[in-house]
Amino acid sequence: MATAKLNPVILSISGRFGNSVFYVSRNRQYVRSYVVPRNPDTPLQREVRKSFAEAVKSWQQISPEEKYAYTRKARGLGMSGYNFYMSEFMTGRKIARKKYKTSGTVSIFQENMTSPDRIHSVSIPYMLLCEANEQYSCTGFG
């Protein structure tokens, strides 16, 4: 990886230029070679992307008070409230997919989890997981 030293006229460069990508990280300017991203577009990858899109939509629908609460909870974790919310949402989906998928059919629990009108907060699928399976440690977010 190369670093770029800029002059006072140009303070930073970002984006792709030819086969080079310019970016700033920790207040330092870097340049690297462009790598064509790999996209195998598998069914599992499409499922994960769909879940991620649902997580983003869910975040956009929660109240500013809930967003502030997630931001407060994420302070000590070194991430934003948005990242904490997304992590909890996606982790809940992963657990539900693993635990509640039965012989080619999807359980009622998973159908309820993926219903957009049912989920407005990460706490709902989290609490449902706790109610559905006693073996998980469900102490809440506090």
Q: What is the pLDDT of residues 15-72, one digit of tens each?
A: 999 999 999 888 888 999 999 989 889 998 898 899 999 999 999 999 999 999 999 9
Q: What is the pLDDT of residues 74-108, one digit of tens each?
A: 998 989 999 999 999 998 877 666 654 444 444 33
Q: Which residue has the higher pLDDT, 74 or 129?
A: 74
What was the pLDDT predicted at 99?
A: 54
Q: Are 21 and 34 in contact (CB under 8 A)?
A: yes
C-alpha 23/C-alpha 30 separation (Å) is: 5
What was the pLDDT predicted at 72?
A: 93
Q: Both tokens of residue 7?
A: 């002059």
Q: Flag whether pLDDT at 4 surpasses 80.
A: no
pTM: 0.49
Q: Which residue has the higher pLDDT, 59 or 3?
A: 59
Find, among 130, 122, 127, the residue nearest to 54 by Cα.
122
Torsion-angle region of 26 (φ positive above 0: left; ψ -120 to 50: alpha; else: beta): left
What's the average model confidence in pLDDT over 126-130? 44
What was the pLDDT predicted at 60?
A: 96
